[in-house]
Amino acid sequence: MVVLLVSLALTVVAAPAAFAYPLPGKVTGDVGVHDPTVVKRPDGSYLVAHTGNGIALKTSTDRTAFRNAGAAFPNGTSWANPYTNNSRNLWAPDLSYRDGQYYLYYSASTFGSNRSAIFLATSPSGNSGTWTHRGLVLESRTSDNFNAIDPDLAVDDQGRWWLSFGSFWSGIKMIALDPATGLRADSTVRSIAGRNGGAIEAPNIVKRGNYYYLFVSFDQCCQGAASTYRVMVGRSTSVTGPYADRNGTALTSGGGTEILAGQGSVHGTGHQDVLADSDSDVLFYHYYADNGASLLGINLLAIDSAGWPYLH
């Protein structure tokens, strides 16, 4: 299915012909982010959550100018302390808005460890200090072959809830959730993507046309301008897979079609989140500037005639 997309609020900076991908679109204000996720609110404004103390929040009325909106948990998250060594820094949130309520899945861990946990909170407004802790969704221990960080909620055509997650170790996993609680529904852990122990993380699943698209980040994050993060995608007719790339290679066997990578002064593009907006699908992600600052990247996303995503 070809989707014709027109930008209303986002000014996209034209990329020189030598660049393989468009440069990040114009954003202003408070745009320092890492691991962004976004929802559009009922009033038409945007709420962004990202890695930070107590999960950092930002808002925008036009998808261009952003401002600081505090933290989801300004008073801390004592329940996460065993996984963070008492740090308030929480990682890689996933925001969604369903049936008048905001859902926030987020990660607690320390760098390089798979002693990790994913928690759920809900809020009637999404604003700082209004989030209610709903409990532990999943944890991983050092004896496990997966890492319980980078959550992403997907709801399939049958209304079933699924949480994909994962960073390094044996790859991207998926569990079923109970829609009534948002918590884990059973003990099954499915594998949906992997690179034989290589660097893969940050899943994001969306349904467009006949396909579920699984976006992931390959290679190295969190090294400033030396980061090599890049955005890859595969697709499947089932939310649980199997996912394959444009060449037919299974994502469980290292497959993935690249749709965005670093270029010029844009380094380490990744930890992507697709927003279905009124004018277009939009990809939110972070990238690093030459000075190592982690910044918000936004580009429009379309599907080509063969059913594959691309940025423009």
Please list the active-site residues.
35, 201
Structure tokens at 256: 């993935």
CA distance 298 to 288: 13
Task: Answer yes or no: are the C-beta atoms of 251 and 210 closer than 8 Å.
Answer: no
Residue 297's nearest CA partner among 266, 275, 259 is 266
Q: Which residues pair with 106 in a beta bridge?
A: 119
Task: Answer yes or no: are the C-beta atoms of 10 and 300 closer than 8 Å.
Answer: yes
**What DSSP designation does 244 have?**
B
CA distance 216 to 169: 14
CA distance 44 to 39: 10
Residue type (1 letter), 189: V
